Amino acid sequence: MEGSSAEAALSVSANSIRITDVTQDGDVLTFAIASQKLNSSAGVCVFRMYEDFDWLQQSLFSEENLPGLQGIIFPPLPSKALPSQSNTQTKALKQLGFLALGQDWQSYCKALEFYLQQVAAHPTLCKCKALDSFLINSESPGKQRGRKGIFNRLSQAVEEMRKESHKDVDNFFQNERNKNTNLAASSKVATEKLLDVVMTEQKLAVACGHFATSLHLCVNQDDAAAVAFSKVCLKLSDVIEAVKRNYEKVASNNLSTLGLGLDLESRYQESEKEMLFRRTCKLIELETVRKGTEKAKANKREVMEAFQKAVEKEFNLISSVAKQEIERFHSSRVKVLKTFLIGWCELQLNTAKEFAELYSQHLEACRNMYSE
């Protein structure tokens, strides 16, 4: 990939890319993206909408002069968020999963941020001009209707399904395809189940809130007995409020670490699946061409053979790029999951300690009050 001299290297540091703010105007979300210039201490800030991200992704897909492009595992771009009022939460959840949760689009912004960081960290993709201009140009590039990428999402046509299960010529790739099929399915299910857990935790928190409020309504100062009872009700109300905050925290911890992590993993597995599918399609094309060449009449044969050689070259290039991508993907995803798992565990541990302390204090206070 070093031969692509037309593309300049990225002028900002990949790690410094942040989405610092998001504003909503009716249906449209605008993201503020900040990054740090490599050669100076200067920072850059630009404003982009989802169309711009889409433009970037399409530009990456249609990058010319990148041999073996089809072998690249492209960082997955989250779906477009549709924040309009008519969009119910169920629709949003179906569309975005975890990224629909969290306040003020925080999870969604985080996911977009990951996307940019991963593109910028990719040894090949970071050189694309589109990325640099996306991150630096004050004018948003989305207005230019770029060439539509040659890659479409994996269609569900029966035809495609058949191709997907086409036997491979290379054991390494056959194994990888099998593993990927399992992992993609398992991580998708795990993400959905965790999402269910988080939704229930949030519902539980809301129910606690209602109960705590209802307890407040039992306050009555008519006489000494009523006052004593009211105090007890208020105490219980405080305890239930604490339980509510507990569950809110637990849910938010789940969301911001493991939830995001599983969501990312799941989408990345899909992206790898698409890459492997592209290669399989190329393989099928090659095999088809070979058969055609064998059957070709003498006058056509030379042309066919030349064509076959070209396809072979393409296929081999894709395979070698894919191999590198797969290895890179394996090591990076383990690191990423590790970070998320540690973060998740630490957050939940801290929350558990915090609330163990709080409940203990309440218990102590009750014991002191009630022993008199």
Binding site for other proteins (CB under 8 A): 179, 182-183, 185-187, 189-190, 192-194, 196-197, 200-201, 203-204, 207-208, 210-211, 214-215, 217-218, 220, 222-223, 225-226, 228-229, 232-233, 235-236, 239, 243, 330, 334, 337-338, 341-342, 344-346, 348-349, 352-353, 355-356, 359-360, 362-363, 366-367, 370
Pairing type for strands 18-25 and 28-36 reads antiparallel
Q: Are 97 and 194 in contact (CB under 8 A)?
A: no
Residue 45 or 236: the one with the smaller Cβ distance to other proteins is 236
How many Å apart are CA 188 and CA 98, to the nearest integer? 12
Residue 28 or 363: the one with the smaller Cβ distance to other proteins is 363
How many Å apart are CA 372 and CA 369, to the nearest integer? 6
How many Å apart are CA 317 and CA 312, to the nearest integer? 8
Report the SS3 class of residue 235: helix
Q: What are phi and psi of 280, to 5 degrees?
A: -60, -40
List of long-range contacts for 37-43, beta carbons under 8 Å, 24+ apart: 37/11, 37/12, 37/13, 38/10, 38/11, 38/12, 38/13, 39/11
Strand partners of residue 149: none
Residue 53 or 247: the one with the smaller Cβ distance to other proteins is 247
Q: Are 67 and 317 in contact (CB under 8 A)?
A: yes
Q: Rounded to 5 degrees, what angle do the CA atoms 306, 311, 316 make? A: 125
Residue 316 or 339: the one with the smaller Cβ distance to other proteins is 339
Task: Give the number of other CB atoms < 10 A from CB of residue 93.
Answer: 16
Minimum gap (Å) between residue 51 Cβ and other proteins: 34
CA atoms within 13 A of residue 208's CA, in its CB half-sphere: 19
CA atoms within 13 A of residue 226's CA, in its CB half-sphere: 7
Minimum gap (Å) between residue 45 Cβ and other proteins: 35
How many Å apart are CA 96 and CA 336, to the nearest integer? 20
Q: What are phi and psi of 159, to 5 degrees?
A: -55, -45
Minimum gap (Å) between residue 276 Cβ and other proteins: 15
177: Cβ contacts below 8 Å, ≥ 6 apart: 168, 276, 280
Minimum gap (Å) between residue 331 Cβ and other proteins: 9
Minimum gap (Å) between residue 152 Cβ and other proteins: 27
Residue 17 or 195: the one with the smaller Cβ distance to other proteins is 195
Residue 36 or 181: the one with the smaller Cβ distance to other proteins is 181
Residue 25 or 223: the one with the smaller Cβ distance to other proteins is 223
Minimum gap (Å) between residue 52 Cβ and other proteins: 34
Residue 91 or 338: the one with the smaller Cβ distance to other proteins is 338
Minimum gap (Å) between residue 277 Cβ and other proteins: 19
Minimum gap (Å) between residue 187 Cβ and other proteins: 6
Residue 138 or 221: the one with the smaller Cβ distance to other proteins is 221
Q: Are 94 and 195 in contact (CB under 8 A)?
A: no
Beta strands in the chain (DSSP E): 18-25, 28-36, 43-49
Minimum gap (Å) between residue 216 Cβ and other proteins: 10
